[in-house]
Structure 1
């Protein structure tokens, strides 16, 4: 394919002239990328993806925008036939990757609010998302199960489009998408994010100067991290191979065969890559490793830095790769801080990082007052990226955002130059980069016959960071079959929420107020193997 905008100078010129300083609306992202990067290759795709072109293995920025345009036209026609009001909600379903990203952008371009749905959701969880957001239309692949009462626009790899249509142009403060996250009340809750919140940071990605970079990623596109990684790469002009599922050996194969210069994953993925033999692969082409969604162990990051290189000189790799970590959450529309570990030197190993432009961080006590240096408090964030609100949950929005500050529930020790992680105050398990709320899993388990009560904890795991474990208080006289309980849980909880280990007890450990002592529950699983045996 032809190329436009090659080389370092164009990116710097764009940055100096302010060409990329405007914040795009969600539906404008692919058109902005197409205008800037044109016929350059944007994505590697699997052969056979494009109908009529079985050997095609790539799609350009201009062609991707045509795909978004075609899908948006289909959505607009469906919305018109349905008589939908302004900015209706549309559920987006399908496997991770390029088509999922195109579907989200197309829904927004057509004047709708996109609601990405994780493909791992159970039917019950998906029903809740659809009912909570009030969607009457979805965009999904033909093979997806039909949802009752929901009209469908089917995804299609079509590059044919009609440019005569004029699209809505919502204000940047309007809600662009609703990303659902686990709720502490037992059901997923929808974080309503604005156009400005989603793209005030990554709009600057268009000024990224290195046009030859190639990224491999296998993140869930329905989650804020996976979505913004793909959208950011699109704006930056970074050619990307987006894998539908994370398979460590296949990821290593892709990194080697493409000679990739970037990889983005969560810490659990890096552990799996190491266990799959990353140290015995040639990964010297990788100049930048990136991670988020959980704290990255310093020793693990250093191993991958040594596997990569800083640059190539005379055809030979020189130095070590960079490691970039971001801290953020869906309620802040993605990243709030960033930390870069340089080769051979990392002065901020346990730091939460440096706040991004427009973001303020402070460490506060329970009353909201800033703690003194050396004290531990809750991380609070303020900036234009704070969520608009939780859908249908005004009380929870009021608790999460106080005086413009987002209370994260994460703990940090206030430092002299930067602040350092000190754990989490919320009762959550971080497993494989996913946030699992114990309350949600406990409520599900309590509805199984014979379960008097349940307590869910995270147990240290070599691969996942933490694995989900559940202690079950059995009703007097009842007998619970473990295999039946597992099958039952599989039908009600997404894969990453399902307990890996179970312990059955006559009574859960409790204090004088009858509150379960989670530290003692966790001791029930100490010394257990990582596979739950």
Structure 2
């Protein structure tokens, strides 16, 4: 049986009373979780969802996400999981591009998905906390092939619109298996996170690793540093996962939780961006658990490399290849570079996506034989430890969220008073990188950064909206007229740009 939902089904058979999920004061055993998933399967079938359908899922981290997501996979359909902060135009694009036949939303953020689904004439199910029932009978899982699509995750480069990485049922289970072997996980594991489950890190690396082991997943939303530490103590977590900004926030949290309260915590895993070694060491000094980080992409089901506790930690390294994975560094001719030299990181293994949805050219461009070309520049040492030193793409990683400048620039160019625009990442002590927009107004026009930010906020998810704005008479250009972002002084932009007040929606 290749269906990725089989993990829950199997544990419900072998250990039905073991805890599978905890959210606040509520908990579900594996038997109860399977019965809730079964109930959602029947509900979705009644709404016309079946094998091969693609379902847009605009739901935050919650028990309802876990249940609905597994129900979609159990039916042999494909979950198209996207950020709950997406605007109506963004959701409309995902619906059209993925050819979705149905949508699922959340009552707290339902306006955008309601409008997008209505415009596309899609059926819509709005979930709310506690809305799921339980089934008396357990339906059979859809008999899918290992390379059948299970999830469509949208990602983007510096050109074009976001493209959907097709992850298969085998991709998800292989991700869970790799982390289980690398981290020596067991059915006694109690994993906690405040990560968004619509993102590959929380969805694949955390949820599927936990359920591959048969452990219990504790969820918190929204992220609050003190609350996550308190949940870790109350639930006696053995493992926690987060992005670097979360560990830094917990390190400086005002809380009574001590290392003694976290005596069960043996593993703290970080991803989304490189974690400074000093932050990891300081967290261990305060709370007793060493934070280990790794590297992965949406296209590799969130898995590629990871640091391990039994190996020396090297500052800013993202560790070695996970079990079953292969990593190499290639030069411009697609030949391996000597140890220690930089080149493009390439990945091979059972976690690599099947394809980009309906984009054969993009799929071909991302492949070199069995290798997936990541677009990231890195180097490896003689031990096989990897460092990510740069990005060929202009990707900005803001607090663990991927922001693609071209997408933001395309929206900026639609503003009637903007002549030219360049979006870049600038260093930020709290978030790792902050988003800055350097713009040239049209002749005679006046731009107010606060008004521009509000205008963008109506068209982009909040985490994509620049927080720094610098107005210039002209952007630097090369001989062909191409804007040269590398000629922009990022430190100057960071210190002289205008910063409108932060939004309450900022992730």
Q: Could you say whether these structures have the same fold, taking a TM-score greater than 0.5 normalized by the shorter chain as the test? A: yes
Query: Which residue pairs with 1:152 in the alignment?
Result: 124
Please state if 1:333 is matched with 2:301.
yes
- State whether structure 2 residue 159 is matched by structure 1 residue 185: yes
Deviation at 1:414, TM superposition (A): 3.3
Could you tell me how far 1:157 is from its partner in structure 2? 1.9
Relative to structure 1, the CA distance from residue 261 to residue 361 in structure 2 (aligned partners, 3 Å threshold; closer, same or farther) is: same
Matched, 1:171 2:145: yes
Instruction: Give the number of the structure whose alpha-carbon radius of gyration is greater.
Output: 1
- CA contact under 8 A between 1:68 and 1:106: conserved in structure 2? yes
Q: Using the TM superposition, give the Cα deviation of residue 281 of structure 1 relative to its aligned residue in structure 2, in angstroms.
A: 3.5
1:276-295 to structure 2, matched below 5 A, reads 276-277=253-254, 281-284=257-260, 285=262, 286-295=265-274
Structure 2 match to 1:296: 275
Structure 1: how far apart are the matches of 2:321 and 2:356? 24
**In the alignment, is the contact (CA less than 8 A) between 2:175 and 2:209 conserved in 1?**
no
Shift of 1:424: 1.6
CA contact (8 A) 1:255 1:283 kept: no
CA displacement at 1:528 relative to structure 2: 5.5
**Of residues 3, 8, 21 in structure 2, which corresponds to 1:43?**
21
SS of the residue corresponding to residue 370 of structure 1 reads coil
Aligned to 2:31: 62
CA distance in 1, matches of 2:211, 2:228: 20
Cα distance change on mapping 1:413 and 1:117 into 2, 3 Å: closer
CA drift of 1:212 comes to 4.4
Q: Equivalent residue for 1:305?
A: 284
Which residue in the other structure is 2:12 paired with? Answer: 34
CA shift in 2, pair 1:470/1:290, >3 Å = same
* 200 and 433 in structure 1: CA distance in 2 versus 1, 3 angstrom threshold: same
Cα distance between partner residues in 1 of 2:237 and 2:173: 26
1:424-483 CA-partner distances (Å, limit 9, x unpaired): 221111111111111111111111111011111111111110010110111111111222
1:140 — aligned with what? 105
How many residues align structurally?
483
Cα 1:172–1:250 shift into 2, 3 Å: same
Structure 2 SS opposite 1:456? strand
Pair 1:113–1:211, CA change in 2 (3 A): closer
Separation of aligned partners in 1, 2:177 and 2:389 = 32
Alignment partners' CA distance in 1, 2:434 and 2:390:
16
Q: Residue by residue, what CA displacement relative to the aligned partner does 1:28-54 show, whole Å, maximum 9, x if unpaired?
A: 23212322331122222345xxxxxxx
* Selected match of 1:89 from 47, 54, 75: 54
Aligned match for 1:515, one of 467, 479, 482: 482
Counterparts of 2:200 and 2:372 in 1: how far apart (Å)?
Answer: 17
Q: Is 1:390 matched with 2:362?
A: no
Aligned equivalent of 2:367: 401
SS across alignment from 1:179: strand
Residue in structure 2 matched with residue 219 of structure 1 by the alignment? 195
- Aligned Cα RMSD in Å? 2.4
Give the 3-state SS of the residue equivalent to 1:26 in structure 2: coil
2:24 touches 2:220 (CA, 8 Å); kept in 1? no
Q: Is the 8 A contact 2:241 2:270 kept in 1?
A: yes
SS at match of 1:525: helix
**Contact 1:322 1:340 (C-alpha < 8 Å) held by counterparts:** no
- Given that 2:53 and 2:78 are in contact with CA atoms closer than 8 Å, whether structure 1 keeps it comes out as yes
**What is aligned with 1:430?**
397
Deviates more, 1:373-382 or 1:498-507: 373-382
Secondary structure at 1:305's aligned position in 2?
helix
Alpha-carbon distance, 1:241 to partner: 2.0
Aligned pair in 2 of structure 1 residues 395, 301: CA closer, same or farther (>3 Å)? Answer: same
Equivalent-residue separation in structure 2 for 1:297 and 1:209 (angstroms): 25
Q: Deviations over 1:88-120 (max 9, x none)?
A: 111122221221122111011112111112211
Tell me if 1:76 matches 2:45: yes
What's the CA shift for 1:333? Answer: 1.5
SS in 2 for 1:58: strand
Post-superposition offset of 1:384: 2.2
Q: Secondary structure at the match of 1:72?
A: helix
Secondary structure of the structure 2 residue equivalent to 1:234: helix
Separation in structure 1 between the aligned mates of residue 500 and residue 241 of structure 2, nearest angstrom: 28
Q: Which runs of 5+ in 1 are unaligned?
A: 1-22, 48-56, 310-320
Residues 426 and 491 of structure 2 are in contact (CA less than 8 Å); yes or no, is this contact kept in structure 1? no
Q: CA deviation at 1:70?
A: 0.7
SS, match of residue 64 in structure 2? helix
